[in-house]
Structure 1
Amino acid sequence: MDFSNIKLVASDMDGTLLDPHHTLSEDFYPVYQALKEKGILFAAASGRQYYNLVNLFTPIKDEIIFLAENGSYVVHQGQELLVQAMDHGITRQLLQKARTIPGVYIVLCGKKSAYVENTAQEFMDQVNLYYDAVEVVDDLLAVEDDQFLKIALCDLAGSESNSNTYFQEEKAHLQVTVSGKIWLDICDKQANKGRGMEVIQERFNISPEETMVFGDYLNDLKMMEKAYFSYAMENAHPEIKKVSRFRAKSNSQNGVVEILQQLVGATV
């Protein structure tokens, strides 16, 4: 495999770079330093909140690119490269519809904070994994002073077979994505990891042939299209395996770091 021209690596987090306990391998930072020394940029591409990602990568937060909230918010060294917010009126309509789905919990994802109006423990356990700036409010519809990047539905019955079916009409004008077994994300039509990757590639003058990406779930589909070196995790959704060119070992086997070690070794 010829990795000699790679200038950008982007990886999804949960189910991909992070292990099944949602933690970062201690082997990541040495390989990251090797990437940095070779001038290869690294982007954390996730449905997670920006503030959560910053805390996850504290030692290198001022160096890497953050492609947060499924591509609706892209930041590098404190500079916003993309803010793809939803219309407030559409956001209100989506919130009202989401409230009609039994057993579904709602996270309103703003640029300043995530907002919740339900604090059930089973829900907050999930929220606390992915969001560090969280505000509990009496009414999500009353939140005004923010830009809304995403609505995330926590569907413990299974997002793909349950809440996803309620938003078929919205797919014509919004980005409706099954981003995990219990998560459905709704964003602006232009907000996805693929668009976020385009913005990064344009900003740094990097082509898809110079890009390597890793993913495992349906919110990574568009990102896979933006890199020649597209890797599906062994534990990935079948659709991700179908569109990717290459395969990495599962996240429980540190598959991303293994490929990155091969990358830095090959570009010595």
Structure 2
Amino acid sequence: MIKCIATDMDGTLLNGKMEVSEQNIQAVKEAQAQGIEVVVATGRSYAEARYALDQADIHCPMICANGAEVRNVSGEVINNAFIEKETAARIFQALKEIGLYFEIHTAEGTFTDDYEKALDIMVNIFLTAHSEIPQDQIREAAKIRFTKGLLQLVDSYEEVIHKEDMVVYKFLAFSFEQEKLDKAREQLSLIHDLAISSSGSENIEITHLDAQKGVALEHFIKEKGIVFEETMAIGDNFNDVSMLQRVGFPVAMGNADPEVKTLCNYVTATNDEHGVAAVIERFIGVKNHENFS
């Protein structure tokens, strides 16, 4: 019997337009109505994740920044795992020397030191999935990260890293040059107690070793008196692997990376075909859905 469902956001709960479909909304709410604990496990910061869930009127606990922060349904932090300042400084220097654009996720929000680069990255990523949408329209949508305070501009990352009492959760580095990402992985793998993953082919995510979705989910369900055998996890990329490998019901999205699919017992529909709703309907008995295997 499934007592907990942990779902990723981007590429999973969210469709290609970065929205939660009505089908997914209803499936999540019906699962909750049946007493099933639904938790969102995302690489996003709390603010960015909460923004998308508020639009869908979904209220649930959240595992944010790949497990660096866990919040209850009221938004209170109940657990976290952060990067020490000395380590954060080493990561910063390595990424800077390689020439990667990156953002820093902290307990006080997400920061960038390059406004235009932040917009360009989001536009290029979105265009790969939605080339039919005018670029200027996508760019205006990308500006929401700044206007809503989801991404904050700073003059220098040093002021973030070295600020007293600043808690650094994650570095998110982007590049469409695979060689640079590979070089960053190689160099950062030499630093003790780091987890290096990705949520897409164009990025790498660097967190503390304990800041992984699977680790955070383990702590979360233990507090609820739930075991992994009673837990479903749904994801599409490598930052989901730590939880997919642990749970009794690992589900890959239809749009998941092929390697991720091999780790799962089940494959559902794509994120644009309401794959989360499909798998919930299949296992929770809400109703039948064709897009599931």
Runs of 4+ with deviation above 6 angstroms:
none
Partner of 1:84 in structure 2?
Answer: 81
Identity of aligned residues (%): 24
* Superposition deviation, residue 230 in structure 1: 0.4
Deviation at 1:235, TM superposition (A): 1.5
The residue that corresponds to 1:122 in the other structure is 120
Distance, in Å, in 2 between the alignment partners of 1:263 and 1:214 is 13
C-alpha offsets along residues 79-128 of structure 1, whole Å, 9 cap, x if unaligned?
Answer: 322211100111011111111123x2110111111111111230364676
Amino acid aligned to 1:251: N
Q: Please state if 1:261 is matched with 2:281.
A: yes
Question: Separation in 2 of the partners of 1:87 and 1:118?
Answer: 24
1:34 paired to 2:51? no
CA offsets, 1:7-49, max 9 Å, x none?
1001111111211222110112222221122110111111111
What is residue 67 of structure 1 aligned with on the other side?
63
Q: Is contact 2:199-2:237 (8 Å) kept?
A: yes
TM-score (norm 2): 0.82
Match 1:189 to one of 203, 209, 228:
209
Q: Once the two structures are superposed, what CA deviation does each residue of 1:39-78 show, in whole Å capped at 9, x if it has no partner?
A: 10111111111111112112656x4111111111110123
**Paired position in structure 2 for 1:162:** 180
Tell me, yes or no, if the aligned pair for 2:2 and 2:36 is still in contact at 8 Å: yes
Gaps in structure 1 of 5+ consecutive residues: none
Go from structure 1 to structure 2 and tell me whether the alpha carbon gap of 1:164 and 1:111 turns closer, same or farther (over 3 Å shift).
farther
CA drift of 1:133 comes to 2.5
Contact 2:82 2:168 in 1 (8 A): yes
Secondary structure in 2 matching 1:94: helix
Q: RMSD of the TM alignment (CA)?
A: 2.1
User: Does 2:17 align with 1:21?
Assistant: yes
Between the aligned partners of 2:211 and 2:143, the Cα distance in structure 1 is 23
Report the CA distance between 1:244 and its aligned residue: 1.0
SS at match of 1:99: helix
Q: Is the contact between residue 193 and residue 222 of structure 1 (CA under 8 Å) also seen in structure 2?
A: yes
Which residue type is aligned with residue 164 of structure 1? D
Structure 2: unaligned runs, 5 residues or longer: 126-141, 288-293
* TM-score, normalised relative to structure 1: 0.89
